[in-house]
A and B are shown apart, each in its own frame.
Chain A
Amino acid sequence: MTNQSKKILNTNITKLVNQPYKYGFSTSVEKENFEKGLNEDVVRLISKKKNEPEFLLNFRLKAYKKWKQMKCPEWAQLKFLESNYQDIIYYSAPKSKKKLDSLDEVDPEILKTFEKLGISLTEQKRLTNVAVDAVFDSVSIGTTFKEELAEYGVIFSSISEAVHTYPDLIEKYLGTVVPIGDNYFTALNSAVFTDGSFCYIPKGVTCPLDLSTYFRINEQNSGQFERTLIIAEENSQVSYLEGCTAPQYDENQLHAAVVELIALENATIKYSTVQNWYSGDSSGNGGIFNFVTKRGLCAGKNSKISWTQVETGAAITWKYPSCVLVGDNSQGEFYSVALTNNYQQTDTGSKMIHVGKNTRSRIVSKGISAGNSKNSYRGFVNVNNKAVGARNYSQCDSLLIGNSSNANTFPFISVQNSTTKIEHEASTSKIGEEQIFYFLQRGISLEQAIGLIISGFCREVFTELPLEFAVEADRLLSLKLEGSIG
């Protein structure tokens, strides 16, 4: 390729991938914020604010003590200035004068915010086939279709509410899949988590709706620490989706979430994420630091947990949705598309821990890097000596756009069992000048060409998303890559 044409190609592609962030607006609402900073009193105050039972306060205090002894992990392929944890607001909630009886009583400004994000919560306009829990900064604003789901025995509410209505379930399961001291960020989250979603699918029930949580960070200096817990009892099934956006600020904001999934015998949990946090400007200022621990436990025989993620936002992403396959014949899956641009850095992948007999796992990871971004896949496949007949298939593909982006793959495989079958495939490709010229010669514009190549590259992952979200994900990548189309 000649230098001249390289330059033309790169400027064109750069123009395409640098679309303004659509969700960068902020909402002005009357808020109740804690003072900045973190100490034991703040932890107690959060618990008190939420009127929590004793066991949860103890859980938080234990976590806080652990966290104080821990250090921010440095092994990831990420470069950033560690957040100043004393400069973060740990609780920020819109002020409400009285207890709300229905979603229609929520501050219209907040409803408008979600509306603008494409998530309508009001009775008339809400999505008809998805139940939504909307989280605004530290608290859940409301959950749609609660009563309808209750008829099936499905519990879907904010975790703060569940702490009061189902304390036994929370006490029994919280922190069992992701222990408090699992890592620096889980300890922090366990100490200060403010809200998140709780789902419980009873025995034999296939959840009639997709469940979804939409996370919105609004406050400039607040951190968001959410906690999600999903329990699928024997023979049950659920599909869950989370979406995330944040306003455009010059400073970095911290998001440290913990998600725990538990699938009992024959249960299936499908967990999909479309992450579009603000990723910072074109020179790398601002954006969300996204440190997330997601783990699913396939506790029962024949259970299945499937993670699908489309990661397009955040300045820093550190995230490894994992499956612990304890039940015999259980299955874990991880499908991921991670797109990075400008100075975004992503270190993401999956862990599959095989414990039970004949457990199977599958990892399909697609990384797309543009601009000066860094996109790393990090995976860990571990087969225990008892996991007779375990199988894993991993595939990691990277697509580079332009000449300054970076793609890495770090697969770790540890097998203690001779009956295991492990396959690993990896590829790196680049959208080439000749490919683009071929499209152009056939009259297809550069924008469409890149859109088509990207969606072809991601197809295996998109087909795993629930239909509505597949459309959303395609649109999101289009927005980031295709310019003004759509």
Chain B
Amino acid sequence: MDIKTPILDIQNLRASINDNEILKSLNLTINKGEIHAIMGPNGSGKSTLSKVLAGHPAYKVLSGDIIYEGKSILELEPEERSHSGIFLAFQYPIEIPGVSNEDFLYLSYNAKLKAAKKAEISPIEFFSIVSEKLKIVNMSPTFLNRNVNEGFSGGEKKRNEIVQMLLLDSKLSILDETDSGLDIDALKIISKGIGTFMNQEKAIILITHYQRLLDYVKPDFIHVMQDGKIIKTGSAELAKELEKKGYEWLKTPV
């Protein structure tokens, strides 16, 4: 057996928005090389967890800790968390009128290089890098000239998120309902992207409502969240059971 190295360790995390406590003593440990799926009914705190990990300023951590690669990240700014390799694929990617995708991606890529004290690259070098990533998710280079997410279809927005993940080569990637609103072809493309991306040094958290993504991206663990806590953890089989029975059966202690 390999020796497992934790990449993320969430300890008794409590967090609130607008004085409303959403995460209530949540614990979760994720090792390098693992894919974890988080499922659970609407309002159980899944998206809140993703925002808190990324450092969204609207959410307040009340107690507990988030240890990422051996250090607490509670004091880190969102951009510092990003530079350290945490990536959040947004459930609803934001439209930014007037800013081209190319400028946005280029700036993002160089910001990461700069934070790592590496030399920044020229737009020409960048173009060849980003073109490779676009191919993986079947996107045409013309998409670089369009404004960030503006007028993108639901599927294009989600693919754009995956391009960014590939580009930034993040170590801990949180995919917040990246599968929702996708047709089966788009779902396959995205799953393929995730497949080429994943390796033993990385970890992925998939937040999803549906079993179907998990047919393409095999998770090592499935967690069920309810009322700000993880109430059940199991193997990939658990998802199938949930698909059949819904969440209700978990409410009565097993």
Contacts and interface: CB of A to CB of B under 8 A. Distances in A.
Interface of A: 1-5, 8-9, 429, 433-435, 437-446, 448, 452-453, 455-457, 459
Nearest to B20: A2
Nearest to B57: A5
B20 to A, nearest CB: 10
Interface residues of B, number: 34
B57 A4 contact: yes
A456 B96 contact: yes
Interface in B56-106: 56-58, 60, 77-79, 81-83, 87-88, 90, 93-94, 96-100, 103-104
Interface of A is mostly: helix
A442 B87 CA distance: 8
A435 B78 contact: no
A444 B96 contact: no
Contact of B88 (A2, A433, A441): A441
Interface string B143-154: 000010000000
A4 B57 CA distance: 8
A-B pairs, 9 with minimum CB distance: A456-B98, A443-B82, A440-B78, A5-B58, A442-B108, A443-B111, A438-B94, A456-B99, A5-B57
Given A2-B17, A448-B107, A456-B99, A443 B115 contact: yes
Given A438-B94, A456-B147, A457-B98, A444 B107 contact: yes
Which of A1, A433, A445, A446 counts the most chain B CB atoms within 10 A? A445
Contacts, number: 85
B183 to A, nearest CB: 25
A452 B107 CA distance: 10
B168 interface: yes
A445 B82 contact: no
B222 interface: no
A131 to B, nearest CB: 33
A452 B99 CA distance: 7
B59 to A, nearest CB: 8
A459 B81 CA distance: 31
Given A435-B94, A456-B147, A459-B98, A442 B168 contact: yes
A463 to B, nearest CB: 12
Nearest to B60: A4
B18 A437 contact: no
5 contacts: A433-B57, A442-B104, A442-B164, A444-B111, A459-B98
Nearest to B93: A438
B96 A443 contact: no
Contacts of B100: 456
Interface in B16-52: 17-18
Contacts of B57: 4-5, 8-9, 433, 437
A444 B58 contact: no
Interface string B163-206: 01000100000000000000000000000000000000000000
Contacts of B54: 437, 441
